[in-house]
Amino acid sequence: MRNHLRTFTLLAALTALFVGVGYLIAGPSGMAIAFLMAVTMNAISYWNADKIVLRMYGATEVDESHPDLLVRSFAADVHDLSDRAGLPRPKVYLINSEQPNAFATGRDPEHAAVAANLGLLRMLDRREIHGVMAHELAHVKNRDTLTMTVTATIAGAISALANFAFFFGGNDRDRPGGVIGTIALAILAPIAAALVQMAISRHREYGADAGGAEISGDPQALASALQKIEAYARGGMINHQAERNPATSHMFIINPLSGQGADNLFSTHPATQNRVAALMKLAGGGAAVTGTRRAGTAVPVTPSARGPWS
């Protein structure tokens, strides 16, 4: 109940911010239009949560009949994990991007989808992929997916509306706030939207890590996967679709855009080392993530460390 209340409060704050931007652009009429737009966006996001984001990333649905053995095995493993979690089997999608990463979407467990980048299948071993997909299924089980998709939609719209106000309305002195208000709006509105977006995302990642560890029964594998994904993402492997749609970055298991050194106000995800430490506590504490490597130490990204199903 507390999580639902917090989510409702944060989404209400995003909607209020969107309406406020409309007021600063065009006064009461702009506020009314913005409110109608917010209601419409929320409705569209609710009924089409999975389709919106999957289309952004050019995701292709795959299943156990796929001609590629690697993809076919991946889809089968996702279905096995969902059965273990007591969830309806989600649709499984593949994104043509070399950066290993993944996300889940959908308005509820009955209409859920999980998506993985092609790089995830190629660069992680099978245990690690299980850990990642169990994490995404935990998001589905916790009903995080709708909130994360609606947040991405509204946050992106706020940034677009603020840019519109700056470039097309900066000389309108009769508008509420005037020129100074327009400049402040263009700078502060996207920042405020990002802060709300981050507040929604970060606390949910810890919950999904714990839930994923429970579903897979292997917290060490998820910890190892997080470290590898982080290393690839920070090593110059660019996710071009995510760069074009930065408002969706909080949906991924690891931020696909840029690294963050610690849990701070401007990070969309908790620091990876903190997540790994929490997972290792679940595994009994002090144990190695892989081999003799201790939690919190980055897993080296070398050809020998890559999957696909080693």
14 to each of 92, 129, 157, 173, how far by Cα in Å?
Answer: 30, 34, 10, 26
Comparing 5 with 92, the larger pLDDT belongs to 92
Helix (H, G, I), strand (E, B) or coil at 188: helix
In a domain, 310, yes or no: no
Do residues 145 and 106 lie in contact, with contact meaning Cβ atoms separated by under 8 Å?
yes
Residues in contact with 176: Cβ distance below 8 Å, sequence separation at least 6, in sequence order? 23, 24, 27
Specify the pTM. 0.77
In a domain, 224, yes or no: yes
b (16+ CB within 10 A) / e for 92-118: bbbbebbbbbbbbbbbebebbbbbbbb
Distance, in Å, from the CA atom of 279 to the CA atom of 210, rounded to the nearest integer, reads 7
Query: In the predicted model, is pLDDT for residue 202 greater than 50?
Result: yes
Residue type, 129: I
Tell me how many degrees the CA angle 6-10-12 measures, rounded to the nearest 5.
115
Confidence of residue 161 (pLDDT cuts 50, 70, 90): confident
For residue 241, which of 93, 96, 48, 113 has the smallest C-alpha distance?
Answer: 96
Residue type, 148: M
Query: In the predicted model, is pLDDT for residue 93 greater than 90?
Result: yes
In a domain, 113, yes or no: yes
In a domain, 7, yes or no: yes
pLDDT at 199: 64
State the total domains in the chain: 1
For residue 272, which of 303, 309, 218, 233 has the smallest C-alpha distance?
Answer: 233
In a domain, 39, yes or no: yes
Query: In the predicted model, is pLDDT for residue 294 greater than 50?
Result: no
Other C-beta atoms within 10 Å of 174: how many?
6
pLDDT at 157: 73
Query: In the predicted model, is pLDDT for residue 120 greater than 90?
Result: yes
Do residues 209 and 131 lie in contact, with contact meaning Cβ atoms separated by under 8 Å?
no
Distance, in Å, from the CA atom of 264 to the CA atom of 29, rounded to the nearest integer, reads 37
Confidence of residue 95 (pLDDT cuts 50, 70, 90): very high
Percent of the chain with pLDDT over 90: 41
Confidence of residue 301 (pLDDT cuts 50, 70, 90): very low
Query: In the predicted model, is pLDDT for residue 11 greater than 90?
Result: no
Listed range (108-112, 273-277, 293-297) with the worst mean pLDDT = 293-297
Distance, in Å, from the CA atom of 90 to the CA atom of 82, rounded to the nearest integer, reads 8
Listed range (31-45, 82-96, 130-144, 278-292) with the worst mean pLDDT = 278-292
pLDDT at 177: 56
Distance, in Å, from the CA atom of 270 to the CA atom of 292, rounded to the nearest integer, reads 25
Most confident of 43-52, 93-102, 160-169: 93-102
Distance, in Å, from the CA atom of 241 to the CA atom of 253, rounded to the nearest integer, reads 15
In a domain, 293, yes or no: yes
User: Catalytic site residue 136?
Assistant: yes
Of 128, 136, 205, 230, catalytic: 136
pLDDT at 289: 43
pLDDT at 103: 96
Distance, in Å, from the CA atom of 50 to the CA atom of 114, rounded to the nearest integer, reads 9
Length of the chain: 310
Query: In the predicted model, is pLDDT for residue 216 greater than 60?
Result: yes
Residues in contact with 241: Cβ distance below 8 Å, sequence separation at least 6, in sequence order? 56, 57, 58, 95, 97
In a domain, 119, yes or no: yes
In a domain, 41, yes or no: yes
- What are the pLDDT digits (tens) for 14-70? 788 788 777 777 778 878 888 888 888 778 777 887 888 899 999 999 999 999 999
Structural domain including 207 reads 2-305
Average pLDDT score over the chain: 79
User: What is the 8-class DSSP label of residue 33?
Assistant: H
pLDDT at 265: 45
For residue 161, which of 271, 47, 33, 1 has the smallest C-alpha distance?
Answer: 33
Helix (H, G, I), strand (E, B) or coil at 162: helix
Percent of the chain with pLDDT over 70: 73
- What are the pLDDT digits (tens) for 218-242? 999 999 999 999 999 888 788 888 8
For residue 229, which of 288, 275, 263 has the smallest C-alpha distance?
Answer: 275
Strand partners, 91: 113
- What are the pLDDT digits (tens) for 143-159? 888 877 777 777 777 77
Distance, in Å, from the CA atom of 67 to the CA atom of 116, rounded to the nearest integer, reads 18
- What are the pLDDT digits (tens) for 240-264? 888 888 778 888 999 998 544 444 4
pLDDT at 112: 94
234 sits in which H/E element: helix 219-234
